[in-house]
């Protein structure tokens, strides 16, 4: 089974491309794949891109219990990055159709995904959070960034002081 695993702001999702996985995705398979001990482990599955005439891409978002979600801000951010990594998009605005409706998204330069998306009531909070993050990054000219190699399964936080930030790198698994 070929899959892609991404994380964004505390959520991790498995991206399954129907062209590589097929369309046989039952609730039971979703539960098994998302199980943290007996499967790959994730907060859900992003199943796409699929064809649609209503948007540039279509996406089905599944919760770990097998139910389908309407939208997920982090899921859309991850899916946008996946589309970037697969060379399906550039930095121009594009649309993604989900069960909750059509979302406009745009990936910034170098694959950074601020997810300028229309998420209904959540949009203002999302954009405010992004603006605050962007402001903090711009003001952080003197912050030291420590890059740490974390062992798989190691959940111990590093000490984070006022002037340092830790970036954890973990080995990625691309297929089973």
Mean pLDDT across 155-166: 42
Say which CATH superfamily domain 4-141 falls into. Diaminopimelate Epimerase; Chain A, domain 1 (3.10.310.10)
Show me where the domains of the chain are located. Answer: 4-141
Residues contacting 122, CB < 8 A, separation 6+: 73
* pLDDT tens digits, one per residue of 5-40: 998 888 899 999 998 887 778 999 999 999 999 999
pTM of the model: 0.65
Express as a percent the part of the chain with pLDDT over 90.
41
Give alpha helix (H) positions in the chain: 18-21, 27-34, 73-85, 123-139
């Amino acid at each position: 089974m070929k899959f892609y695993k991404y994380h964004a702001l505390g959520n991790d999702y498995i991206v399954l491309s129907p062209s590589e996985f097929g369309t046989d995705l039952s609730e039971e398979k979703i539960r098994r794949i998302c199980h943290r001990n007996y499967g790959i482990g994730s907060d859900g599955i992003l199943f796409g891109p699929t064809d649609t005439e209503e948007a540039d891409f279509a996406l089905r978002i599944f919760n770990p219990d097998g139910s389908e979600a309407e939208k997920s801000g982090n899921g859309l951010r991850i899916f946008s990055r996946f589309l970037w990594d697969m060379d399906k998009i550039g930095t121009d605005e594009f649309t993604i159709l989900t069960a909750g409706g059509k979302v406009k998204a745009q990936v910034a330069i170098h694959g950074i995904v601020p997810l300028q998306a229309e998420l209904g009531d959540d949009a203002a909070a999302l954009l405010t959070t992004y603006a605050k993050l962007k402001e903090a990054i711009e003001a952080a000219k003197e912050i030291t960034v420590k890059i740490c190699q974390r062992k798989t399964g190691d959940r111990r936080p590093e000490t984070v002081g006022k002037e340092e930030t830790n970036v954890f790198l973990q080995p990625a698994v691309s297929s089973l």
